[in-house]
Structure 1
Amino acid sequence: MPHALLQLCRSLYRPWPMALLAALAGAFLLAFLGLGLALSQAQEAQREDLENRGERLLLRLEQILGQLRQGLAGLELQPLRHCDPALVENLRQVSFEHRFIHEASFAADGQLCSSRPRHAPAEPARPADFHSRGLDYWLTTTHVADEDPAPLMVAQASFRVSSFRGHLLDALDPSDGLGVYLIPRGSTQALPILAATPPLTLLPGAADSAALQLLDGQPFYALPGGNPDYRLALLAPRAQLLERIREYWERLLPASLLLALLGGGATFWLVRRRLSLHGALQGALRRQELQVHYQPIFHLASRRCIGAEALMRWQRPDGSLTSPELFIPLAESTGQIRAITDFLLREVLEQLGDLLRNHPELYISINLSACDVSAPRIGPLTERLLARHAVRPEQIAFEVTERGLIDLQAASRNLAELRARGHRVLIDDFGTGYSSLAYLQTLPVDCLKIDKAFVDALGADAASSGVAPHIVRMARALRLKVIAEGIEHEDQARLLDSEGADYGQGWLFAGPLSAHAFRALIGGALPGAPAESFPPRRRQPAPGGSGTTGAAPAPRPRSEAPARAPGDWHPAPGRR
């Protein structure tokens, strides 16, 4: 990152600028999302409105066309085919018996007669709008209301019957500018019934859609179902939808602004807390407020403690504890993790250096972060400290998490250097990151630590219940040791031991201990079940360990880690 850009980011990383940026970004994003939600809600409300109104109109249209078809069927049954008084009387009778038939007429061989002899019978001025089941249909194309017969006409052979526009208007309020269309089955044309527009051309498949569509910005909705020969469709004015969108958006806007303000306030609090935590952590390093605890690691077969994992704790001057889940990620992002790792190494050797000299079978493991393994600095530092305290390199092991292996090539190179100095390397929380056989075979690894989540699943009816045994078998095939973290029940320890896991740590054996308590553990009776309660394994027990922060009083930071037992873990010949 260029220096000027870095300086800009640092200058902006203050509570008020970050809160303002968060509030503005939140307001813009929420307003945009609110507009989209308002559009969706408005379209749904528009669809429901058009559907309700269309259903009433469709019912009336079905009644009108049904009577027109009945009238034609009756006329076709009578034998008269000449314009004589008897035929005219039959035409009048059909018009009288059906409420929605305004006029019935006959036209053939130059003869023309109607049920209304004083008026010229309605003659279609164009070909039929559509044909269906031997009938020809003509639809009205104007909104103008008058007493003349509306050209809503149905014809069969020489007979025609027509309806009056007012019968349709009874089921529709024409004042809102709603257009009514009829879509013949299989057609992409929406033919106007009550609309002062030419036919609408629809996209293929649009006529069969049951969703609200926009035609040049106007809401268009075709009612599902209906007559097998056609579908009724409605076209609403654009202003109607825009008004609905505005109403919904005005309802959502205050809530969006409130959420943006809350987001800005939360950002202000988090940034201020982070900055204050950053400064407090610097002071804690100077005042040596950080404390080291030790999570013992036990050999599963013999129940012998073979080492511990070093855990970092931060106790404030007021006695409160700050969780490693808070200050370790902060230290990693600000670069303070290097100082914490160095402090941890020095404290471990200051507190337990003589214990490690007197018990060469013990080891302590130290967690390394991504920046610790990306540069070759830990090896020389550890070498100087080990020389000062006369501790063997095998008694300090290093743990890395899969998620911390950002630069795999650099990590592999630097971890190989640590192994060359005599240290052993463990993969912590195995199975929760980018675990794969490919990188296991390229990294200099001595041991895998099974994550507590997979240990908890043992014996449970869960998809992950078989992960821990699978990891054990895979590690054995690669000739790696296995430590199971978070063991809390005897059944878990027995099952892991039977599957071939080497070591375990957890509350079943011991929780995180102070240096004094860990010394007492090594010098006195070991907690947990007696060794004779476990059937001895046939393979030769090897010193080693496994552990987890598990249900520890405070979560384990990624900068804390255990070591391995000297003389027990040896790299497979020819593997690396």
Structure 2
Amino acid sequence: MSAALSVLRHLLYRPWLLAILAATASAILLLMASVGVAMHQIQQSEIEQMNAKGERFLVRLEQIFGQLREGVDQLQAQPLRGCDANMLAALQQVGFSYRFVYEAAYVDGTIACSNRIGERTINPLRPADIQGPTYSYWLNTTTEPDDNLAALMLGRGKFLVATSRGHLTDVVDLPPEGSLLVVLDNGARAVPVLGPPQVWPPSTDWPPASNDSLLELSDRLIYRMPTKSPDYQLVLIAPRASLPLKMNGILWLLFPGSLVLAWCIGWLVLQLVRQRRSMSSELQGALRRGELQVLYQPIFELTSRRCVGAEALVRWRRPDGTLTSPDLFIPLAENTGQIRQITDFVLQRVLEQLGQLLRANRQLYISVNLAACDVMVPRIGRVAARLLALHHVAASQIAFEVTERGLIDVVVARDNLQALRAVGHQVLIDDFGTGYCSLAYLQTLPVDCLKIDKAFIDALGHDAASSGVAPHIIRMAHALQLRVIAEGIEYEDQALLLNSEGVNYGQGWLFAHPLNARQFIELITRGRRLGPRRIDDEA
């Protein structure tokens, strides 16, 4: 953990290096994301194109098969047989009547005639690929690269009708190495109608368990098309890499856009690091010039309204009179390690300002907040011992407040807190209920008091979901024999309700705003409660 913080501090003082690292990391991540989006877009494009091709092929094939059946039925129904002029006229009439019938023929042994007079007459030399009760089907009757040669042929009786390859390819051009197959024999055999033969079956687990029409393999897309006939199924296969891919125009902007965004992130990191380094330098100067001030938030006994102590608060007043919020410079100081100097400064200033008051009022105590880095190491005990000996103040009059979030390693924190208690310091858990300190850990920690966060005090008497948290914390503290201090009390009814719940101590603007040392001494010596006043009225 300390090594990581050391590296972070090292980078904070090299803003250009940190900016370059941030820009490079952002560019890599954004480019990877862009590539991922592009690949997903490509895959979606492949799937959409395949679906579109399959649907168009299916519509065309249904039209072709329908016309082939009608044409051969018309020829079979007429009484003419033989190859006279009337037969030729009938064959030509079928060819003219049906758009997808390229050739119609009569074949009876050695007698054959076709509507394509003077051209090659179809005459299949092999058995039909599909032999149905009424029709016979021949698939891919030739492999010659001629769109006018038959790709599908249908026969009934002595009549044959065929469509040309061009009637299929004019719908959608197959990609290179793509094929339209007719699957026969319950999936055992596939005959290419268009395109080259394909390895069949296409995968070891064919047929797949899924009923999806589109199947995605690593190198191919397979589109299964249902047909009205149980004897065959149509399958369109296309290699993934060969599909014509279209990338959206916005997608092309992702790549330069990623680089521009990465540059912007690097520039933003540079500005933030410079700002933090600048504030860090200013904070170091503030410590050196004495711009930090310590104010005291009095803690009162709710029954008697007697002040029993105070919480030391650090404030940064700049030379122009403006106050910098602790929410800004305390986290920065924790990250840069300057929080140790601030804690030492607060301890020293408390004892310098209130040493005489504390020696005169042995029951009075001041609590100082500890950061996580001081909870996890025993350093602060040595610093406090030296200052207490110098000002002759008892250790019991300096309490230390730690937050639940500061207990990074409960075992180590327990040992260090126990060492502080062993010499007489009180230990308080600040903002209890907002962190992650479980009851099991709390039972083992050397703690004297719990401070309930203002958010739970504000919820008292309301229907808010957290209105029951404060009473629960109070009961738990009593069960563990711990004192309870309620923070942020602003109204009298809150003080009365808390007192009735068994809370003995409280702090908040109902009793007093944070006071400077002179005001706090006046409060104790005169034994009265100051009215509400702004932090910056006399600080």
TM bucket normalised to smaller: 0.7 to 0.9
**Share of identical aligned residues, percent?**
52
Aligned to 1:544: none
Instruction: Name the TM-score, length of structure 2 as normaliser.
Output: 0.75
> Are 1:57 and 2:57 an aligned pair?
yes
Aligned to 1:439: 441
Structure 1 residues 254 and 463: CA distance shift in structure 2, 3 A: farther
1:410 alignment partner, one of 406, 409, 412 = 412
Residue type at the aligned position of 1:270: L
> Are 1:524 and 2:528 an aligned pair?
yes
Give how far 1:281 is off.
2.3
**Greater RCO structure (CA 8 Å; 6+ sep):** 1
Kept after mapping to 1: 8 A contact 2:83/2:113? no
SS in 1 for 2:529: coil
Kept after mapping to 2: 8 A contact 1:178/1:236? yes
> Are 1:36 and 2:36 an aligned pair?
yes
Q: What does 1:150-549 align with in structure 2 at a 5 Å threshold? A: 150-151=151-152, 162-173=162-173, 177=176, 179=178, 181=180, 192-199=192-199, 201-202=202-203, 205=208, 208=211, 213=216, 215-216=218-219, 220=221, 222=223, 233=236, 235=238, 238=241, 244=247, 250-299=252-301, 305-455=307-457, 464=466, 466-487=468-489, 500-507=502-509, 509-519=511-521, 523-525=527-529, 527=531
Residue type at the aligned position of 2:43: Q
Structure 1 residues 132 and 18: CA distance shift in structure 2, 3 A: farther
Instruction: Name the TM-score, length of structure 1 as normaliser.
Output: 0.71
Structure 1 residues 360 and 169: CA distance shift in structure 2, 3 A: same
Kept after mapping to 1: 8 A contact 2:214/2:222? yes
Residue type at the aligned position of 1:15: P
1:504-548 Cα deviation digits (max 9, x unpaired): 4445554433334444555433558xxxxxxxxxxxxxxxxxxxx
Stretches of structure 1 that go unaligned for 5 or more consecutive residues are: 529-550, 554-576
Kept after mapping to 1: 8 A contact 2:491/2:510? yes
Q: Which moved more, 1:137-146 or 1:267-276?
A: 137-146
SS in 1 for 2:297: strand
1:117, 1:502 → 2: CA distance? Answer: 112
1:385-441 Cα deviation digits (max 9, x unpaired): 334444443332111122222333332112112112222212223334332223212
Give how far 1:155 is off.
7.8
SS in 1 for 2:444: coil
Kept after mapping to 2: 8 A contact 1:293/1:312? yes
Q: Which moved more, 1:458-467 or 1:90-99?
A: 90-99
1:88-118 Cα deviation digits (max 9, x unpaired): 999999888765455688999x999998698
1:113, 1:463 → 2: CA distance? Answer: 94
1:49-89 Cα deviation digits (max 9, x unpaired): 444444333332333345556778x69x9899x99999999
Stretches of structure 2 that go unaligned for 5 or more consecutive residues are: none
SS in 2 for 1:438: helix
2:466, 2:225 → 1: CA distance? Answer: 48
1:337-366 Cα deviation digits (max 9, x unpaired): 222111111112222334444555543211
Give how far 1:262 is off.
1.5
Kept after mapping to 1: 8 A contact 2:182/2:193? no
Residue type at the aligned position of 1:524: R
Paired positions, count: 520
Kept after mapping to 2: 8 A contact 1:294/1:310? yes
1:291, 1:58 → 2: CA distance? Answer: 84
Kept after mapping to 2: 8 A contact 1:365/1:398? yes
SS in 2 for 1:482: strand
Structure 1 residues 298 and 9: CA distance shift in structure 2, 3 A: closer
Structure 1 residues 516 and 457: CA distance shift in structure 2, 3 A: same
SS in 2 for 1:255: helix
1:349, 1:509 → 2: CA distance? Answer: 24
Give how far 1:269 is off.
1.9
Kept after mapping to 1: 8 A contact 2:223/2:237? yes
1:432-480 Cα deviation digits (max 9, x unpaired): 4332223212211222333445555566776655444443333333233
Kept after mapping to 1: 8 A contact 2:51/2:214? no
1:322, 1:46 → 2: CA distance? Answer: 59
The higher radius of gyration belongs to: 2
Kept after mapping to 2: 8 A contact 1:222/1:234? yes
1:201-236 Cα deviation digits (max 9, x unpaired): 1475596557784643x6x36489997975764636
